[in-house]
A and B are shown apart, each in its own frame.
Chain A
Amino acid sequence: MTQLLGGMPIMADLPGWAFTLIAMSGVGIILLLSIAVAVMIFSWAERKVAAYIQSRYGPMEVGPWQGTLQPIADGVKFLLKEDIWPTGADKPLWRLAPLLIFTGAFLSYVVIPFGPNFIGAKLDVGLFYIFATSSIVVVGIISAGWGSNNKWALYGAVRGAAQVISYEIPLSLAIMPIVLHVGSLNLGEIITAQRGWFVNWHAFGNWGSHGFAGILSLVSFQISLWIYFISSLAEVNRVPFDLPETESELVSGYHTEYSGMKFAFMMLGEYADVFVVSAIAVTVFLGGWYSGIPVIDRFVPAPLIFVSKSLFLVFVQMWLRWTLPRLRVDQLMHVCWKVLIPITLANLFLYGLLRTALA
Chain B
Amino acid sequence: MVKLVKDIYETFSTIFKGMGITRRYLGKKPVTQQFPYERWAMPERFRGFVHNDVPRCTACLLCAKACPVDCIYIDVEGKGKERQMTRYAIDYNKCIWCSLCTEPCPTNCITMSHDYDHSVYLRERLVYEFVDEPVVPFKPSKEKKPEPDATGTATPVAGASGGEGGAQA
Contacts and interface: CB of A to CB of B under 8 A. Distances in A.
B157 interface: no
Contacts of B12: 226
By CB atoms of chain B within 10 A, which of A52, A55, A322, A323 has the most?
A323
A78 interface: no
B32 A52 contact: no
Interface in B10-46: 12, 15, 18-19, 21-23, 25-26, 28, 30-32, 34
A323 B21 contact: yes
Contact of B25 (A52, A57, A226): A52
Given A60-B34, A324-B15, A324-B18, A55 B25 contact: yes
Contacts of A53: 22, 25-26
A324 B31 CA distance: 22
A320 interface: yes
A323 B18 CA distance: 6
Nearest to A49: B26
Interface residues of B, number: 16
Nearest to B37: A60
A323 B31 contact: no
B23 to A, nearest CB: 7
B106 to A, nearest CB: 48
A3 interface: no
A19 interface: no
A323 B14 CA distance: 10
Contacts of A322: 22
Contacts of A52: 25-26, 28, 30
A57 B18 contact: no
A54 interface: yes
Given A49-B26, A319-B23, A56 B18 contact: no
B35 to A, nearest CB: 11
Contacts of B25: 52-55
B22 A55 contact: no
Contacts of B18: 323-324
Contacts of B4: 339
By CB atoms of chain B within 10 A, which of A51, A55, A56 has the most?
A55
Contacts of A60: 34
B15 A323 contact: yes
Contacts of B28: 52, 55
Contact of A323 (B19, B30, B32, B34): B19
A339 B25 CA distance: 32
Interface in A24-59: 49, 51-57
Interface in A300-352: 319-320, 322-324, 339
A60 B19 CA distance: 25
A257 B52 CA distance: 56
B30 A55 contact: yes
A57 B30 contact: yes
Contacts of A320: 15, 19
A322 to B, nearest CB: 6
Interface of B: 4, 8, 12, 15, 18-19, 21-23, 25-26, 28, 30-32, 34
6 contacts: A51-B30, A319-B26, A322-B22, A323-B19, A324-B18, A339-B8
Pairs A-B, 8 closest by C-beta atoms: A323-B18, A323-B22, A56-B32, A53-B22, A56-B30, A55-B31, A55-B30, A57-B30
Interface of A: 49, 51-57, 60, 226, 319-320, 322-324, 339
Given A319-B23, A323-B15, 4 more contacts: A56-B31, A320-B15, A322-B22, A323-B19
